[in-house]
Amino acid sequence: MKTGRYIGISLFAAFSLFVVACTSEEPPTPIPTPEPTATQVPTVVSTPPPSRAERPTPTTSQAQVAPELLQTPERVGDERPTGGVFRRLWADPPTLDPALVTDGTSYDIVIELFSGLVKLTGDANEPIVSDLAESYTVSNEGKTYTFKLRDDLKFNDGSPVTATDFKWSWERAATPATESPIVDEFLGDIVGMQAIIDGEAATADGIEVIDDFTLRVTIDAPKPYFIAKLTYPIAFVVNRENVISGGENWTDEPVGTGPFILKSYSIGERMVLSKNPHYWGDPAYLDEVQLLLAGGSAMAMYENDEIDITGIGLADLERVTDPNEEISKDVVEVPPSFRTSYIGFNVEEPPFDDVHFRRALNFAVDKTLVANAVFSDLVKPATGPIPPGFVGYNPDLEGLVFDEEKAREELAMSRYADEDARPRIVITLPGTGGSPSLTTEVVADMWRRTLGVDVEIQQVEWATFLQDLHRNRLQAFSLAWQADYPDPHTFVDVLFRTGSSINNTNYSNPEVDALLEQANVEADPVRRIELYQEAEAMIVEDAAWLPLWWGVEGKVLVKQRVEGMTFPPLSVPIYQHVWIDG
């Protein structure tokens, strides 16, 4: 369902709306819940998205990675009781096909059902480890990777996993018929893959099956972040017979290699995961994970013992953290995620094709006021794409901070200073017809009051939103981006490089492209960071985004019977280590 209306509410009314309803965008609590990403995530007040933090590649200096980025508790051995059911509120995923995942709602399910050669961990000293690969080596020139698979690997149907399965899975992801919107960004470095993407070949010379347990991969240039990109779902292995025999509906009964299998799925009602009996590693403790998809009030469901975890909205924060309240015993501290909320502008669409107009919109928003008065400082005003604590974060990047005088000066310099000559402006958000994003309403009100710029806000269903986003059909949009792997490349390059399939703003700056080209192959990690920071500063000055918020530490509620639940600031399989005590 699509809704659209003009925004003319006062800032005071917006504040009042939030205090009373607390139902729109923006995260008072960073609890991992369904949302969009590879990447993209819509921001939701009561249930913010799963974190997506990056990991450094083996060639990245560990000193450059904040230790808290990767920490998770140690396993405690086999004394954990087996069995039990873990329940949480979720949403229907747009896809369960690893080759098509571009959102957090899908991502956090797919990583439980499928797996790849390597995976992210919670260990700061060893952030990327072998998974289905027992080991791997990299050639001296940094272009050839040789993976040795474990010899006891099986899909969840009991059939063996071989190197040929990986070659087939990756080439299938690149085939035009698969319609993966991100394959060129994640697998396009492999020699020969671009020809498949372009429909000019069926196989890639850069993927060689040496024997059943050995896979050799050659990329076009030494790239420090390449191995980290293989932790993303598009590089996971799928079962050829399952995909071919299942046709368009093969993910109704997916055959994977992750710690869980899809036991059942009723759209709009419930999804149930159960432990994979053929998983190569430590088996899951839980019997089932039940994901409730029908919606509802998360807090009410939690207090009625229908779910085991929930975020905490501002309206409930004081009550549930009161030590005199029994529910306060369930409060768990959650670290900030590496996530940046923003409004993106399609720079090829008027009026956003004018840099002065985009800069005017940036200068007109008092993010500090909104963070304090609306969100009680549960969000932090963002100055650029890379969030604090992340590899490459620049604390000296000032950004286009609130300045009414500069906002009006920039508008006067733009081609759209005359309101009568200004085209209709539509900001699109993911949603299903409820109250639109509070942040977007407040921002729109500031634009109207400071600049006389009126905008229309429309909501579209999430899967449709993603489709329009990837096809660059949106004039402007409100989203959040979370890191996929441990390198500034995931924030700066893929989002703003000319021609990137994830560059949803159509931003293009030859000077930025030149810096990114240097950074992507620079061997010196310190120099690489400097190059990415130079590029980021230019991007901020060009105002392709209005950066909004970075996350801060938050609180969630978790039932005391749930043990082993972790909240890493990146998405890794988590249910495998959870158990129910009693």
Q: Give the range among 5-9, 156-160, 207-211, 377-381 with minimum mean pLDDT.
A: 5-9
Using the predicted structure, report yes or no on whether residue 175 has a pLDDT greater than 50: yes
Amino acid 125: pLDDT: 64
Q: In the numeric block, which tokens belong to residue 377?
A: 């400082």
Amino acid 434: pLDDT: 62
Chain-centroid distance of CA 190 in Å reads 23
CA-to-CA separations, 314 to 163, 255, 372, 435, in angstroms, rounded: 50, 41, 13, 17
Q: What is the band of 79 on the pLDDT scale with cuts at 50, 70, 90? A: low
Q: Between vectors from CA 40 to CA 37 and to CA 46, what angle results, nearest 5°?
A: 90
Amino acid 441: pLDDT: 92
Rounded CA separation 276/262 (Å): 9
Rounded CA separation 306/89 (Å): 9
CA-to-CA separations, 384 to 25, 109, 214, 296, 543, in angstroms, rounded: 20, 29, 42, 34, 10
DSSP state letters, 7-53: ----HHHHHHHHHHH--SS--S---------SSEE---SSSPPPP--
Q: Identify residue 167 by its one-letter amino acid code.
A: K
Q: What is the band of 23 on the pLDDT scale with cuts at 50, 70, 90? A: very low
Residue scoring higher pLDDT (177 or 32): 177
Long-range contacts of 126-130 (CB under 8 A, 24+ apart): 127/55, 127/56, 127/65, 127/70, 127/486, 128/55, 128/56, 128/57, 128/58, 128/227, 128/228, 128/231, 128/486
Note the pLDDT tens digit of each residue in 281-315.
999 999 999 999 998 999 999 999 999 999 998 88
Using the predicted structure, report yes or no on whether residue 29 has a pLDDT greater than 90: no
Mean pLDDT to the nearest integer, 453-476: 93
Domain boundary assignment for the chain: 3-54+336-551
Amino acid 122: pLDDT: 60
Using the predicted structure, report yes or no on whether residue 429 has a pLDDT greater than 90: yes
**Which one-letter DSSP state was computed for residue 396?**
T
Rounded CA separation 436/550 (Å): 20
CB 563 within 8 A of CB 582: no
Mean pLDDT to the nearest integer, 74-80: 50
Question: Helices (DSSP H) in 424-521: which residue ranges?
Answer: 438-451, 462-470, 493-496, 510-521
Amino acid 433: pLDDT: 61
Residues with Cβ within 8 Å of 323's Cβ and at least 6 positions away in sequence, in order, are none
Question: Helices (DSSP H) in 365-490: which residue ranges?
Answer: 367-373, 404-413, 438-451, 462-470
Rounded CA separation 359/545 (Å): 9
Burial class (CB in 10 A: 0-12, 13-18, 19+), 365: buried
- CATH number for the domain running over 3-54+336-551: 3.10.105.10
Mean pLDDT computed over every residue of the chain: 85
Using the predicted structure, report yes or no on whether residue 178 has a pLDDT greater than 70: yes
pTM above 0.75, yes or no: yes
Please state whether beta strands 85-89 and 3-6 pair in parallel, antiparallel, or not at all (unpaired).
unpaired
Mean pLDDT to the nearest integer, 47-52: 30
Amino acid 367: pLDDT: 96
Using the predicted structure, report yes or no on whether residue 134 has a pLDDT greater than 50: yes
CA-to-CA separations, 396 to 53, 369, 471, 534, in angstroms, rounded: 22, 21, 35, 12
Using the predicted structure, report yes or no on whether residue 67 has a pLDDT greater than 70: no
Percent of the chain scoring above 90 in pLDDT: 72
Q: Which residue has tokens 């390449």?
A: 226
Mean pLDDT to the nearest integer, 488-512: 96
Q: Give the range among 131-135, 334-338, 430-434, 577-581 with minimum mean pLDDT.
A: 430-434
**Which one-letter DSSP state was computed for residue 371?**
H
Mean pLDDT to the nearest integer, 63-85: 49
Q: What is the band of 15 on the pLDDT scale with cuts at 50, 70, 90? A: very low
Strand-pair partners of 476:
345, 427
